[in-house]
Amino acid sequence: MHAGRAIRRSLLVVAIAGIAGGLVRLRGKGGVPPTVGGWRQLSGPEFR
Torsion angle in degrees (nearest 10) through CA of 19, 21, 24, 27: -60
Shortest Cβ 2–other proteins spacing (Å):
35
If one asks whether residue 5 binds other proteins (CB under 8 A), the answer comes out as: no
Tell me the C-alpha distance between 39 and 15, whole Å: 45
Site string for other proteins, 8-37 (x = CB under 8 A): --------------------xxxxxxxxxx
If one asks whether residue 3 binds other proteins (CB under 8 A), the answer comes out as: no
Compute CA 6 distance to the chain's CA centroid, rounded to the nearest angstrom. Answer: 31
Q: Binding residues for other proteins, per CB under 8 A?
A: 28-42, 46-48
